[in-house]
Amino acid sequence: MTARITRRSAAGLIAAALSGGYLAARPRAARAADAPITLLNVSYDATRELYEAIDAAFTAQWLSQYRQKISVLQSHGGSGQQASAIVNGLQADVATLGSAFDVMQLYTQAHLIPENWAARLPYNSSPYTSTIVFLVRRGNPKNVRDWADLVRPGVQVVTPNPKTSGAARWAYLAAWAWASRRSGSTEATTKSFMKTLYQHVPVLDAGARGATDTFVERGIGDVLLSWENEALLAAQKLGRGMFSIVVPALSILAEPPVTVVDKVVDQRGTRRFAEAYLQFLYTPQGQQIIAENFYRPRSPAAAQQYAAQFPAVAQMVSVEQAFGGWARAQAVHFADGGTFDQIYGQ
Amino acid sequence: MNEIVQALPQPIAGRPRPPTRALARRDARQFRVLPGFGLTLGYTIFYVSIIVLIPLSTAFVRSARLGPVRFWDVVTTSRVLASLRLSFGGALIAALVNAVFGMIIAWALTRMRFPGRRIFDAMIDLPFALPTAVAGIALTALYAPNGWLGRLLALAGVRVAYTPLGVVVAMAFVSLPFVVRTLQPVLGDLDREVERASETLGASRMQTFRWVVLPSIWPTLLTGSALGFSRALGEYGSVIFIAGNIPKVSEIAPLMIMIKLEQYQYSEATAIAVVMLLASFALMFGINALQLWAQRRRRAR
Amino acid sequence: MIGRQQVPEELGRYALLGIALVYLTVLVALPLLIVFVEAFTRGLVPYIASLLDPYALAAMRLTLLTAAVSVPLNLIFGIAAAWAIAKFEFRGKNTLVTLIDIPFAISPVISGLIYVLMFGAQGWVGPWLIEHGIHIIFAVPGIILATTFVTFPFVARELIPLMQTQGNDEEETALSLGASGWQTFRLVTLPNIRWGLLYGVLLCNARAMGEFGAVSVVSGHIRGLTNTLPLHIEIMYSDYNYVGAFAAASILAMLALVTLVAKTLLELRQPELRAGIARQA
């Protein structure tokens, strides 16, 4: 039976294989055509403007130094979403994500990078820092001053989903750090504060961009828990005078990390360029661009030059200090069944 | 193997099985006259297999790794359950709303002559021709609190964008063509003499509709609504922009699959996908049965 | 007496017509209108500038390429499937027809998911392919595959009923007069189904160029490389670039309008085409 069918259908199968072969042959043909060197930087939501400027400066510098054209391609999305795409095979030469947890996944889920990835570049591989601030509407009509005001009746808070967004995780940890440092606080009171806080969230977007969009363009909510750089951008460029920034008494020192994706650069033969790209972030020019885009630069010179544009946070806690590092923070708060699931009742 | 054999040509039952080249022998009329059967069927089966069947089977294989207990746990966590409830519930409401309005629209387009009728008629297919991302941002712009309709509705205290209601609006948008397009030919064929007769016998319009029109169109109405329901159930692009995506409030099941995928929970993602796939298959067979039944009823009349 | 009865009846008819038109306007016409209004809020120059943006142009190119590959693939399949199904009797035919319908019945997200499960680095054949430098997911082939999947039934679905109603008589006559199989198809069958073919291709193309969910799962969102026009809309939208988002949307909306006009013209030429749409849509 089968033999007869095969004979009758052989011609059909050949025709099918020919047309299918076209699909399979495509990537190879496409690669041969790509003469200039390309790097793919897979990054998080908030860095679109930053890397647009970095890419232009880096490629110009490389061209003048080595007479070689590099083009840097960008992909942006929620930090967790982007890490998962890399784990699933997105050919990122460098990953510049919103939190160390997301970069860690490249090791734990797929061994794309070595375990000691963070030690390979200065400052734990994070070329800049940032923090979480409040963005409020003109004149601060709900008079929001600090974390305690977020849970007042009638106040709506916009923040993205900590499961998929780096910014949201930082915001969550900042709120937790504040609540757990109140006098007389216990784990139960902290959790109850967090639960109330998230009851005041009308929209939980997947990424920081979506959340900013919900707040700025769609007019939802009274407070946006935002990356400092996103808040400064929104306050200065998007709606001049429409928003103002409120700096809470306590916030978190966010250290978004960068890494070369070893498995990809070794296969593509792009390691040299990818490493040079990341090192460029630490150069005076790179730090300058970082500061111009409202991220806190690491180099003391740039930090001093741009000190005025960054609001002072009275108490800045780090994940190391307050949560004993990213791995622990992740396990306790964001893993399945962690505190976020408990307060959100998954 | 059994299924493969079933899908392949067989001699018509009752006819003695010929000793050789059984495939070419079908009923007398087509007896080895037209060429190309092996070629086209071979290609069709090959193509269906590589594009649809093999990729689809990966979903079932992957979710099977969970085992029945874990599978059940995954699809019954409150957040997943809420998303399934919203997808099914929202699609059901959208289908019901469109059943009513779709019927009125189909009736107006087939029974009334008015200026611009052809334009309105062509407009029915717009939700189908308009890419879902375009529909998504357009509906969001309309129904956001500062949009044209959102502003009006806000005065009445109704919020559409970023609520489950927004999900229903987007679903109603995408499923409208199914109801109208399924009903139109049937309403056109309906014998108007019977309606007139009913009216001359003193029946009110409502009574005529209830006792004369509805009984003859309702299998078709059900088919169209089921088609619309099926489309709305799986809809993603137009919904996610307007939904706001709040866990347990306005997250739809397809989004839940995306979220699980982004959290490296591949088996969990496929478990939700399998629930939706089974629903889709059940709907597909239900709709096929409905269509056959509606056709038979119409022929019988 | 007659007058009294007719007035409320006429009123009722017009009330129903009013409801129908208001529903259509609010649900369908306004969204279309707002796309163009938003696209032109800042005037013509920013509109054109955002369409000439290199990323927008790259997205348009990728969208055209995707349609240019997946539509012909599905066209060839559609003709083959319709020939086998409409012209011959065999067991399992109903099962085959049902299988062809699957992509219409399932969520676009699932259509993308299954390709990630197949070709992703954590998937079934993905690790092997990636080891050998073949990238399907997060690259152009994945986008084409996902698009081919979701647009897979269009041509077949349109041709099967058309060829079934036309029967085999003409082809059989041609063959008995000595025409070859290919001549028969080209000179007898093809002219008979050409409008249906065009109709199917038209709908297939509209969906191929507009697909969002499935493509979104497998794209990787690399600017200038793996963003189709619908994905470009999403990126512009989340970049606060509303003019850019709605300008790109207006291109796709115009495509939808052209599709609708062409579809209406085809229906005027061959009214029975329309019967297929209820299932197609």
Please say if the pLDDT value at position A275 is more than 90: yes
Q: Is A121 left (phi over 0), alpha (psi -120 to 50) or beta?
A: beta
Chain B residue numbers touching A11 (CB-CB < 8 A): 38-39, 42
Q: Please report the pLDDT score of residue A158 as a whole number.
A: 94
- Residue A315: C-alpha distances to residues A174, A324, B208, C140 (Å): 11, 17, 76, 48
Token pair in block for residue A173: 């940890």
Please say if the pLDDT value at position A110 is more than 60: yes
Taking CA–CA distances from C140, the nearest residue in chain A reads: A27
What share of chain A has pLDDT > 90, as a percent? 62
Q: Please report the pLDDT score of residue B288 as a whole number.
A: 87
Taking CA–CA distances from C80, the nearest residue in chain A reads: A12
Q: Across the interface, which of B37, B123, B134 has its CB nearest the CB of C249?
A: B134
**Cα separation, B141 vs A292, whole angstroms:** 32
| 8 Å CB contact between A290 and A302 | yes
Please say if the pLDDT value at position A87 is more than 80: yes
Q: Please report the pLDDT score of residue B6 as a whole number.
A: 35
Of the spans A1-5, A325-329, B25-29, B253-257, which averages the highest pLDDT? B253-257
**Taking residues A303-329, what's their average pLDDT?**
90
Q: Please report the pLDDT score of residue A274 as a whole number.
A: 97
To test the contact with chain B by mutation, choose from C33, C94, C113, C148 the residue with the greatest count of B C-beta atoms within 10 A, namely C113
- Residue A230: C-alpha distances to residues A158, B238, C124 (Å): 13, 27, 39
Does the CB of A105 have a partner CB in chain B at under 8 Å? yes
Q: Please report the pLDDT score of residue C6 as a whole number.
A: 58
Q: Please report the pLDDT score of residue A1 as a whole number.
A: 35
DSSP string of A218-237?
S---SEEEEEHHHHHHIIII
**Taking residues B247-265, what's their average pLDDT?**
87
To test the contact with chain C by mutation, choose from B124, B126, B265 the residue with the greatest count of C C-beta atoms within 10 A, namely B126
Q: Please report the pLDDT score of residue B86 as a whole number.
A: 97
Q: Across the interface, which of A20, A163, A205 has its CB nearest the CB of B50?
A: A20
| 8 Å CB contact between C246 and B133 | no
Token pair in block for residue B130: 């308009």
Across all residues in chain B, what is the average pLDDT?
84
| 8 Å CB contact between C185 and C63 | no
Does the CB of B244 have a partner CB in chain A at under 8 Å? yes
Q: Please report the pLDDT score of residue C43 as a whole number.
A: 92
- pTM recorded for the entire structure: 0.84
Contact A88 C121 (CB under 8 A): yes
Task: Return the number of other C-beta atoms located less than 10 Å from residue C5's C-beta.
Answer: 10
| 8 Å CB contact between A167 and A45 | yes
Q: Please report the pLDDT score of residue A34 as a whole number.
A: 45
| Banded pLDDT at A326 (limits 50, 70, 90) | confident
Interface size between B and C, measured as CB pairs under 8 A: 308
Contact C135 A213 (CB under 8 A): no
Chain B residue numbers touching A12 (CB-CB < 8 A): 38-44, 46
Q: What is the pLDDT of residues A13-25, one digit of tens each?
A: 444 444 444 444 3
**Taking residues B255-275, what's their average pLDDT?**
90
Instruction: Tell which residue, A40, A42, A50, has the closest CA to residue A281.
Output: A50
To test the contact with chain C by mutation, choose from A1, A86, A87, A90 the residue with the greatest count of C C-beta atoms within 10 A, namely A90
Stretch 148-207 of chain A: residues touching chain C, C-beta under 8 Å: 207
Contact A24 C134 (CB under 8 A): yes
Does the CB of C15 have a partner CB in chain B at under 8 Å? no
Does residue C28 sit in helix, strand or coil?
helix
Token pair in block for residue C253: 């909306």
Task: Return the number of other C-beta atoms located less than 10 Å from residue B83's C-beta.
Answer: 25
A96 — phi, psi (to 5°)? Answer: -125, 90
Q: Please report the pLDDT score of residue B28 as a whole number.
A: 41
Across all residues in chain A, what is the average pLDDT?
86
Please say if the pLDDT value at position A28 is more than 60: no
From A126's Cα to the closest Cα of chain C, the distance in A is 23
Q: Across the interface, which of A31, A89, A210 has its CB nearest the CB of C137?
A: A89
Beta-strand relationship, A296-297 and A128-129: antiparallel
Q: Please report the pLDDT score of residue A265 as a whole number.
A: 95
Token pair in block for residue A139: 């004149």
Stretch 98-117 of chain A: residues touching chain C, C-beta under 8 Å: 109-110
Chain C residue numbers touching A91 (CB-CB < 8 A): 135, 138-139
Does the CB of B245 have a partner CB in chain A at under 8 Å? yes
Please say if the pLDDT value at position B10 is more than 50: no
Contact C121 A209 (CB under 8 A): no
DSSP string of B236-257?
-HHHHHHH---TTTT--HHHHH
Does residue B21 sit in helix, strand or coil?
coil
Please say if the pLDDT value at position A305 is more than 90: yes
**Cα separation, B244 vs B265, whole angstroms:** 23
**Taking residues C244-264, what's their average pLDDT?**
95
Q: Please report the pLDDT score of residue A193 as a whole number.
A: 95
Please say if the pLDDT value at position A133 is more than 80: yes
| 8 Å CB contact between C55 and C232 | yes
Q: Across the interface, which of A26, A75, A207 has its CB nearest the CB of C141?
A: A26
Q: Please report the pLDDT score of residue B32 as a whole number.
A: 52
- List residues bridging with C222 in a β-sheet: A75
Q: Across the interface, which of A28, A85, A267 has its CB nearest the CB of C220?
A: A85
Chain B residue numbers touching C114 (CB-CB < 8 A): 55-56, 58-59, 273
Burial degree of C250 (CB within 10 A; 0-12, 13-18, 19+) = buried
| Banded pLDDT at C181 (limits 50, 70, 90) | confident
Rg of chain A taking only CA atoms, in angstroms: 23
Taking CA–CA distances from B250, the nearest residue in chain A reads: A203
Token pair in block for residue B92: 């059901």
To test the contact with chain C by mutation, choose from B26, B31, B44, B256 the residue with the greatest count of C C-beta atoms within 10 A, namely B44
Contact A9 B21 (CB under 8 A): no
Name the residue type at position B250. S
Does the CB of A26 have a partner CB in chain C at under 8 Å? yes
What share of chain C has pLDDT > 70, as a percent? 94
Please say if the pLDDT value at position B150 is more than 60: yes
**Cα separation, A115 vs A105, whole angstroms:** 10
Does the CB of C119 have a partner CB in chain A at under 8 Å? yes
Does the CB of B78 have a partner CB in chain A at under 8 Å? yes
Q: Please report the pLDDT score of residue A239 as a whole number.
A: 63
**Cα separation, B60 vs B270, whole angstroms:** 7
Does the CB of C116 have a partner CB in chain B at under 8 Å? yes
Contact B244 A344 (CB under 8 A): no
**Cα separation, C50 vs A263, whole angstroms:** 37
Please say if the pLDDT value at position A33 is more than 50: no
Does the CB of C26 have a partner CB in chain B at under 8 Å? yes
- Residue C217: C-alpha distances to residues A57, A82, A85, A133, C139 (Å): 32, 12, 9, 32, 11
**Taking residues B263-276, what's their average pLDDT?**
91
To test the contact with chain A by mutation, choose from C88, C109, C138 the residue with the greatest count of A C-beta atoms within 10 A, namely C138
Contact C81 B241 (CB under 8 A): no
**Taking residues B229-235, what's their average pLDDT?**
95
Contact B254 C249 (CB under 8 A): no
Please say if the pLDDT value at position C276 is more than 70: no
| 8 Å CB contact between C163 and A53 | no
**Cα separation, B143 vs B121, whole angstroms:** 24
Taking CA–CA distances from A211, the nearest residue in chain B reads: B244
| 8 Å CB contact between C64 and C143 | no
| 8 Å CB contact between B246 and A203 | yes
Q: Which DSSP letter does residue A307 get?
A: G
Please say if the pLDDT value at position B254 is more than 60: yes
Q: Please report the pLDDT score of residue A242 as a whole number.
A: 86
**Taking residues A95-101, what's their average pLDDT?**
92
Q: Which chains touch B (3 or more CB pairs under 8 A)?
A: A, C
Does the CB of A21 have a partner CB in chain C at under 8 Å? no
Q: Across the interface, which of A40, A42, A210 has its CB nearest the CB of C238?
A: A210
From A331's Cα to the closest Cα of chain B, the distance in A is 14
Q: What is the pLDDT of residues A41-69, one digit of tens each?
A: 999 988 988 999 999 999 999 999 999 99
CA dihedral C34, C36, C42, C45 (to 10 degrees): 170
Q: Across the interface, which of A13, A16, A202 has its CB nearest the CB of B162?
A: A202
Q: Please report the pLDDT score of residue A345 as a whole number.
A: 64
Does the CB of C123 have a partner CB in chain A at under 8 Å? yes
Please say if the pLDDT value at position A7 is more than 60: no
Does the CB of C116 have a partner CB in chain A at under 8 Å? yes
From B43's Cα to the closest Cα of chain A, the distance in A is 4
Q: What is the pLDDT of residues A121-132, one digit of tens each?
A: 999 999 999 999
Token pair in block for residue B268: 């969990």
